[in-house]
């Protein structure tokens, strides 16, 4: 997940932008900036309310004032605020704040008065269902049970709900045992102990069995099969024990399960949970001696992820008849995707069924993705871009600048609140009609808000608006550094688009930064290689610096793999040492088998996305014409994918 940084070095740029505005606007914005800071700190006397009331962002100061008055403020006042700001994220934020404040104060009637259905956060759901206990007890009980059945601690706000459900007998010893088993499965030892202390003597044998299994999973074949009163705790215990056993030793766990399965009286849900784990790990870890059992269980589980995994295993085995068989078992929506139609075409081709192969390739080639393009290459036909026009009527273009959401977004950017500006904009894009969403996208493009433009197309699901989804952001820098490093500039664009969606100040949870998401260590290492100073955590956010360093790094990866961009892209995402190992341990004769054999889902998706995006960028540069655009080079298409791909120095 990416979040935004606002480095201190940007402040002068914002100040310069303000100086281009009329003096009255500059003054009003300065007052609003100070007022919002004061409102956050509840320094009401420091706020010039007369100026604030006339500002387009007045609702933000009012938000903090109303929030501070909760839970004393009447629900009617909250609802009036929500109605007044219904086109802004402020409405949902205020509703959430009111639910939390009223809930903490035990004002249940007020919680229901301001609610608009089940809230999103767990804490607020607990307040909501607690409030429902007296008016819709069955709904409250169902919601409370869902919140209870988790293997992790829940917020303190849930305690009144849980305590009431316990008093009413909705949550009893069986439910406590089930949650205890979920906590064991998740490794939450503190919660296991807490819940265990709340179980009576009838569960002592079950706790003893659990303790034995914690130290020796293989004892699962020797412990009692009836746990708890009327054996009602058996399913939860065996599901938790088998989960740990399967992860620790998949082969032994499967052998144990085949011994005890028929002797257990457990629910279909628990049985399915156990068997899904067993199938998954047997396939991932290639436990071949149990393959017949796996293949016999899978049709009954009818799990989409398992069908995908089993098909990938068949591809790894070059079991082309098996590929066809497992694809045929997929649900129509899954089976119809370009990926699986492509592999159906490959399998039919390998088996000599030319007509069936061509029909499957034709279905795949109608889609705009990696396998759709690969299928088109097999057929020798152009790629299907299915691009929609991005024109917006002139009169609508003139109106959009005066829309409240646009005025608020502009004002928030002027007062250095990019996070709030993004929330305003994306909230509007997600709720807008297609006509209005297109107007917002067009406005973002004209303003040069590339990251906001891309996110607008995502929020509004404008999937075919390719010039907006793949804008010519930072084109000059990509072209320059592509030429300097000898790297295809469209691949550089594809990497940046995949990595950051063109947000120059993006920060990943792992610490990667900027357009091309460079880790600080990588940025420092490449800088030394180029004879440059380490740019540091904020210098690497500079687009030109980030593109230069990222271009150099991907160039090094391309050289490492003898010019092969698929392997290089995989290395950019997962690291070259992993790719070296994959090439050594799982060699492939063809590009598609290499991509499908990548163990990490994220890296498989990354490689396919980058190569797809580069095709789109190059095609857009040709006016949407894919003639002459190639997904792969001849060497990438025909070369071997094994250790020989690694360049020797």
Active-site residues: which are they? 499
Dig out the tokens for 206 from the structure: 């079950």
State the Rg of the chain over Cα: 29
d(CA 211, CA 194): 15
The dihedral region occupied by 456, where left means phi > 0, alpha psi between -120 and 50, and beta the remainder, is alpha
**Burial class for 352, CB neighbours closer than 10 Å (0-12, 13-18, 19+):** exposed
For the CA atoms of 225, 227, 232, 233, the dihedral, rounded to the nearest 10 degrees, stands at -110
Under 8 Å between Cβ of 266 and 232:
no
Rounded to whole angstroms, what are the CA distances from 409 to 178, 179, 405, 406, 413?
48, 45, 6, 5, 6
- CB-based contacts of 445, cutoff 8 Å, min separation 6: 390, 453, 467, 468, 471
Bridge partners of 518, per DSSP, are 513
d(CA 516, CA 539): 13
Rounded to whole angstroms, what are the CA distances from 383 to 341, 346, 600, 619, 626?
16, 18, 27, 10, 6
d(CA 367, CA 341): 10
C-alpha 408: how far from chain center? 28
Give the 3-state secondary structure of residue 637: helix
Under 8 Å between Cβ of 549 and 518:
yes
């Amino acid at each position: 997940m990416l979040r935004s940084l606002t480095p201190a070095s940007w402040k002068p740029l914002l100040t310069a932008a303000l100086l281009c505005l009329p003096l009255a606007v500059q003054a009003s914005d300065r007052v609003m900036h100070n007022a919002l800071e004061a409102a956050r700190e509840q320094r009401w006397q420091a706020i010039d309310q007369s100026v604030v009331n006339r500002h387009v962002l007045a609702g933000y100061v009012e938000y903090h004032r109303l929030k501070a008055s909760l839970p004393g403020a009447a629900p009617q006042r909250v609802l009036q605020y929500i109605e007044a700001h219904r086109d802004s994220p402020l409405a949902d934020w205020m509703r959430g704040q009111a639910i939390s404040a009223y809930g903490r104060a035990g004002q249940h009637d007020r919680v229901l008065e301001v609610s608009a259905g089940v809230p999103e956060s767990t804490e607020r759901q607990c307040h909501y269902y607690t409030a429902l206990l007296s008016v819709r007890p069955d709904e409250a009980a169902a919601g409370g049970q869902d919140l209870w059945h988790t293997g992790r601690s829940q917020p303190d706000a849930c305690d009144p709900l849980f305590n009431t459900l316990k008093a009413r007998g909705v949550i009893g010893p069986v439910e406590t045992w089930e949650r205890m088993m979920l906590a064991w499965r998740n490794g939450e030892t503190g919660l296991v102990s807490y819940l265990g202390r709340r179980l009576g003597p009838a569960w002592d044998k079950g706790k003893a069995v659990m303790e034995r299994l914690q130290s020796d999973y293989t004892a699962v074949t020797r412990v009692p099969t009836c746990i708890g009163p009327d054996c009602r705790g058996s399913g939860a215990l065996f599901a938790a024990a088998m989960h740990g056993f399967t992860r620790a030793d998949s082969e032994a766990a499967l052998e144990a399960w085949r011994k005890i399965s028929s002797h257990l009286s457990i629910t279909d849900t628990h049985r399915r949970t156990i068997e899904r784990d067993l199938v998954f790990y047997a396939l991932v870890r290639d436990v071949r001696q149990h393959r017949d059992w796996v293949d016999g269980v899978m049709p009954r589980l009818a799990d989409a992820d398992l069908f995908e995994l089993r098909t990938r295993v068949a591809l790894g085995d070059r079991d082309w008849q098996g590929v066809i068989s497992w694809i045929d078992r997929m649900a129509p929506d899954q089976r119809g995707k370009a990926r699986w139609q492509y592999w159906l075409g490959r399998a039919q081709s390998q088996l000599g069924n030319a007509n069936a192969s061509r029909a499957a390739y034709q279905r795949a080639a109608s889609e705009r993705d990696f396998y759709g393009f690969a299928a088109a290459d097999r057929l020798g036909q152009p790629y299907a871009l299915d691009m929609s026009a991005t024109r917006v009527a002139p009169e609508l273009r003139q109106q959009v600048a005066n829309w409240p959401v646009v005025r608020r977004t502009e004002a928030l950017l002027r007062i250095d609140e990019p996070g709030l500006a993004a929330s305003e904009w994306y909230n509007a894009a997600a709720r807008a009609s297609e006509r209005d969403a297109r107007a917002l996208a067009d406005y973002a493009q004209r303003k040069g808000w590339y990251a906001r433009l891309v996110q607008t197309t995502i929020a509004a699901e404008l999937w075919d608006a390719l010039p907006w989804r793949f804008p010519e952001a930072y084109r000059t820098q990509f072209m320059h550094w592509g030429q300097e490093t000898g790297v295809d500039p469209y691949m550089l664009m594809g990497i940046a688009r995949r990595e950051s969606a063109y947000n120059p100040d993006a920060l990943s949870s792992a610490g990667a930064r900027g357009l091309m998401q460079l880790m600080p260590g990588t940025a420092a290492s490449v800088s030394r290689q180029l004879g440059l100073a380490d740019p540091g955590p904020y210098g690497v956010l500079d687009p030109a610096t980030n593109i230069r360093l990222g271009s150099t790094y991907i160039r090094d990866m391309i050289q490492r793999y003898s010019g092969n961009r698929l392997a290089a892209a995989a290395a950019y995402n997962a690291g070259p040492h992993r790719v070296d190992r994959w090439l050594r341990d799982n060699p492939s004769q063809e590009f598609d088998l290499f991509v499908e054999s990548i163990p990490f889902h994220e890296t498989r998706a990354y490689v396919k996305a980058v190569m797809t995006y580069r095709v789109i960028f190059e095609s857009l540069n040709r006016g949407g014409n894919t003639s002459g655009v190639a997904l792969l080079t001849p060497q990438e298409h025909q070369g071997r994918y094994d250790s020989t791909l690694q360049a020797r120095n």
